[in-house]
Chain A
Amino acid sequence: AQSVTQLDSQVPVFEEAPVELRCNYSSSVSVYLFWYVQYPNQGLQLLLKYLSGSTLVKGINGFEAEFNKSQTSFHLRKPSVHISDTAEYFCAVTLDNAGGTSYGKLTFGQGTILTVHP
């Protein structure tokens, strides 16, 4: 079975500073990786995903992530954060893929709370 570890439960950072949220996964087979953001009292919003191809994935709101198969990592980065980026971020992994048209059970990491200070 696959698993996901988010190495930091909380990341405080000042506005306009760069940030990296770390995610490592464990799986014996190929995986598909996702980053979601959850604002307080709201549902999950997909930031970006890695399915195949280029290992550098660009998402919404200026975020990007790099898939590193040898290190089994999928770290999320943003070069300059805003106050509005304050939220909880979840890394997730799935093994299932029915020809690219189906995304199976997602396993989530524990979440990282990003707090951007002025």
Chain B
Amino acid sequence: GAVVSQHPSWVICKSGTSVKIECRSLDFQATTMFWYRQFPKQSLMLMATSNEGSKATYEQGVEKDKFLINHASLTLSTLTVTSAHPEDSSFYICRPPVTQYFGPGTRLTVL
């Protein structure tokens, strides 16, 4: 299947700082990317969809100004958690629509 990577795989930050998560498609081009969030012991919830050349579309209840999503190129989508707080601690996962496979995920812990 198509290969997707995420960086970093694990990050700890202080409350109030911003964290950028990268999602790269390694052997194909992706004009869109789905971003999911998984809180501890919960299921995955779609947060937003990044779109190359246009604004991201956010799911209901997701704060656009807090979770900045950018589709920088056909192989890179980024999610920036701005002014992170402990309640943002979660597992963030990306997936391109061309595959049913997910990226390996990024574990964010905000202290």
**A interface, CB within 8 angstroms of B:** 34, 36, 41-44, 46, 49, 90, 96, 98, 101-111
Within 8 Å by CB of A44, from B34, B42, B45, B93, lies B93
- The complex places the Cα of A63 from the Cα of B107 at a distance, in Å, of 28
CB of B24, distance to nearest CB on chain A (Å)? 15
A-B contact pairs, 30 of them (CB 8 A): A34-B100, A41-B107, A42-B104, A43-B93, A43-B103, A43-B105, A44-B93, A44-B102, A44-B105, A46-B1, A46-B100, A90-B44, A96-B97, A98-B97, A101-B98, A102-B97, A102-B98, A103-B99, A103-B100, A104-B97, A105-B49, A106-B34, A106-B44, A106-B46, A108-B43, A108-B44, A108-B45, A109-B43, A110-B42, A111-B42
For chain B residues 8-46, which have a beta carbon within 8 Å of chain A? 34, 42-46
Taking A43-B104, A104-B97, A105-B49 as known contacts, 4 extra A-B pairs with beta carbons closer than 8 A to each other, sorted by chain A number, are A34-B100, A90-B44, A103-B100, A106-B34
Q: Which residues of A contact B100 (CB under 8 A)?
A: 34, 46, 49, 103, 106
A114 to B95, CA, bound (A): 25
List of B residues within 8 angstroms of A101 by Cβ: 98
List the A side residues contacting B45 at CB < 8 Å. 108
- Interface majority SS (helix, strand, loop, mixed), chain B: loop
Q: Which of A34, A41, A46, A105 contacts B34 (CB 8 A)?
A: A105
Question: CA A34 – CA B95 in complex, angstroms?
Answer: 14
- Compute how far the CA of A98 lies from the CA of B98 in the bound complex, rounded to whole angstroms: 9
Contacts of A103 in B (CB 8 A): 97-100
Docked pose: A110 CA to B42 CA in angstroms: 7
